[in-house]
Amino acid sequence: MTFHLLLSAALLIFPAGMAFAASMDLLTMTIPNRLCLGLALGFFIFALVASAPVHLVLWNLSCGAAVLVIMFTLFSLGFIGGGDAKFAAATALWLGWGSLLDFSLSAAIYGGVLTVILILMRKMPLPERLSRWGWLARLHHPKTGVPYGIALAAAGIMIFPQTALMHVGALA
């Protein structure tokens, strides 16, 4: 009984981290480093509690590392923000190679929809009473980027139940 409570608590790390990152990106246009580090540490905690095989942990670790290299290349070219790069890598650590394509395609679709919504929203004037909310005024400004962490989080939450890591947790 205690083991299952511990496993359930560890399982909440991923969706809670995703939701927190999405809300932070929406409200502040940043994803804190400590959140990405917490997600990475949470992966190892979950893997330990779920008794994940070492080869699966290493396989997922290689996925997260590869995504980090790719995302930081995109960051250095100015295509994405640094927080998004670290967040995508931390998410890939949890999802692994087997889910990376589905995650990437889902994030691209969600990000495209989010971008179109923001472009359309930014073409309309922001009502006076809403412009008093700093985060909303910032989000509405045409020079502000897209809080892509929302798309990454949505894709991560959608894909996670299908991952090998999740199935290890379900079998534990």
Q: pLDDT tens, 49-76?
A: 888 999 999 999 999 999 999 999 999 9
Return the half-sphere exposure (C-beta side, CA atoms, 13 A cut-off) of residue 145. Answer: 16
Domain tally, the chain:
1
36 falls in which pLDDT band (50, 70, 90)?
Answer: very high
Q: Count H helices, E strands: the chain?
A: 10, 0
Domain containing 31 equals 2-171
55: tokens are: 């080869």
**pTM of the entire structure?**
0.91
Burial 30-63 (b: 16+ CB within 10 A, else e): bbbeebbebbbebbeebbebbebeeebbebbbeb
Name the E strands within the chain. none
pLDDT of residue 2: 62
169 falls in which pLDDT band (50, 70, 90)?
Answer: low
pLDDT tens per residue across span 80-98: 999 999 999 999 999 999 9
